[in-house]
């Protein structure tokens, strides 16, 4: 049980000195007039030192403006509740404090109490860091699934095209005809399933972002061979020149996907009035490796579409093969590699993509 003083009052000075919370009285002139040991111990200054240092000098630079605004509100008799700001200790550490204050206008004084919330802020920073990592991981997983689902459609379409060239009537053996027909049905079903995955992606697995020396001619040949039948059916002509820059230090998996999507896009949007010509050239501009990919397809109106061409699920033609994913993948993959992509296009003339890779 507490014993009152001789004057019949509790010993508030003792309470002031023993409480673990920070207690202080500050003047309108920006100096502390009285502080308790808890404040002194936290900041590492003696009480005498704290009374001689302008309060603003103790506050973390980025929090000075906010603190000053709240201090001015206090002078206008607006109580301050749970203001969070950072202070710098004598040895340079940063501590977070949560303040509740009131002012006494008659004597130009501010009475304040604060709690040390540094441990809470550290937990929040750790949580936010984990959330950022989780968000990036989820984005990578989604990108990976889009890429796999979408890129598999072209080789499957290539197989389906090959089956369409078969004349089953020329196969004499009935059992062989049966199995060929079943195999064709299986490919058609695979194509339908992949389309569903492209339209509604949800799955796992993280992308491998390792980089290595990659020869552009090899990557182009692998991509072209994977959809060779589609290329033959389109009668497309390739003009390829990797003489200025024969190789890149990059991720082969990503680069193949980028080229596959660009070539597939050109095949889809070729003009009916002329033979499709696809040009792929490499070069170095100001030490930046570049691939210049051009076609003479139907093109699009840059003023109407612009950068929306890279948005997910954006369709700008009535082509039923379009899912609005290919160019979205191109942009995301090149940016993941630390590069960028620009596009120029004219209706009924063609489209050019400039791929800038990390130096």
When divided into structural domains, the chain yields a total of 2
pTM above 0.85, yes or no: no
CATH number at residue 226: 3.30.565.10
Contact 250, 339 (CB under 8 A): no
Last residue in a domain, options 116, 145, 160? 116
Contact 61, 76 (CB under 8 A): no
User: Which pair of structure tokens corresponds to residue 332?
Assistant: 């995301």
Same domain, 220 and 329: yes
Same domain, 339 and 212: yes
Q: How far apart, in whole angstroms, are the C-alpha atoms of residue 180 and residue 190? A: 15
Same domain, 105 and 236: no
Same domain, 103 and 221: no
Last residue in a domain, options 116, 137, 157? 116
User: What local confidence, expressed as pLDDT, does residue 124 receive?
Assistant: 86
Specify the residue for token string 């700008």: 316
**Exposure letters 299-338 (e unless 16+ CB within 10 A, then b):** bbeeeeeeeebbeeeeeeeeeeebbebbbbbbbbbbeebe
At 141, is the pLDDT very low, low, confident or very high (cuts 50, 70, 90)? low
What is the span of the domain harbouring residue 351? 208-359
> Could you give the angle at which helices 216-226 and 118-164 cross, rounded to 10 degrees?
60
pLDDT in tens, 91-130: 999 999 999 999 998 899 999 999 999 999 888 888 888 8
Residue 333 placed within a domain: yes
pLDDT in tens, 190-231: 666 566 556 555 444 444 456 889 999 999 998 888 787 788
Q: How many angstroms from the chain centroid is the CA of residue 301?
A: 28
Same domain, 112 and 240: no
Q: How many CB atoms lie within 10 A of CB 339?
A: 20
Q: At a CB cut-off of 8 Å and minimum separation 6, what does 293 contact? A: 259, 262, 278, 279, 280, 352, 353, 354, 355
CATH number at residue 91: 3.30.450.20
Last residue in a domain, options 116, 147, 164? 116
Residue 61 placed within a domain: yes
Residue 241 has pLDDT above 80, yes or no: yes
188 CB-side CA count, 13 A: 8
Same domain, 219 and 357: yes
């Amino acid at each position: 049980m507490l014993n009152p003083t001789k004057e019949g009052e509790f010993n508030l000075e003792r309470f002031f000195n023993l409480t673990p919370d920070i207690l202080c009285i500050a003047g309108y002139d920006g100096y502390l007039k009285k502080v308790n040991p808890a404040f002194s111990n936290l900041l590492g200054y003696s009480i005498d030192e704290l009374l001689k240092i302008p309060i603003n000098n103790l506050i973390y630079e980025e929090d000075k403006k906010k603190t000053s605004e709240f201090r001015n509100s206090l002078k206008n008799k607006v109580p301050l509740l749970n203001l969070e700001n950072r202070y710098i200790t004598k040895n340079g550490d940063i501590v977070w404090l949560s303040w509740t204050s009131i002012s006494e206008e008659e004597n130009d004084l501010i009475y304040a109490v604060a709690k040390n919330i540094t441990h809470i802020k550290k937990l929040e920073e750790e949580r936010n860091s984990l959330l950022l990592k989780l968000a990036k991981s989820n984005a990578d997983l989604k990108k990976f699934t889009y890429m796999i689902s979408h890129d598999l459609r072209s080789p499957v379409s290539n197989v389906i095209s090959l089956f369409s060239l078969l004349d089953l009537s020329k196969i004499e053996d009935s059992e062989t005809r049966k199995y060929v027909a079943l195999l064709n049905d299986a490919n058609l079903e695979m194509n339908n399933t992949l389309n569903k995955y492209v339209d509604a992606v949800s799955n796992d697995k993280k992308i491998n972002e390792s980089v290595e020396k990659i020869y552009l001619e090899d990557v182009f040949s692998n991509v072209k061979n994977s959809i060779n039948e589609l290329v033959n059916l389109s009668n497309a002509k390739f003009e390829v020149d990797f003489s200025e820059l024969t190789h890149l230090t990059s991720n082969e998996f990503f680069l193949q996907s980028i080229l596959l999507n660009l070539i597939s896009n050109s095949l889809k949007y070729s003009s009916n009035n002329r033979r499709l010509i696809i040009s792929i050239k490499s070069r170095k501009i100001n030490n930046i490796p570049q691939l210049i990919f051009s076609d003479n397809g139907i093109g699009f109106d840059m003023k109407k579409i612009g950068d929306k061409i890279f948005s997910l699920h954006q369709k700008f033609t009535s082509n039923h093969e379009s899912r609005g994913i290919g160019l979205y993948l191109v942009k995301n993959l090149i940016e993941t590699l630390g590069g960028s992509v620009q596009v120029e296009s004219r209706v009924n003339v063609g489209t050019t993509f400039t791929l800038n890779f990390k130096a």
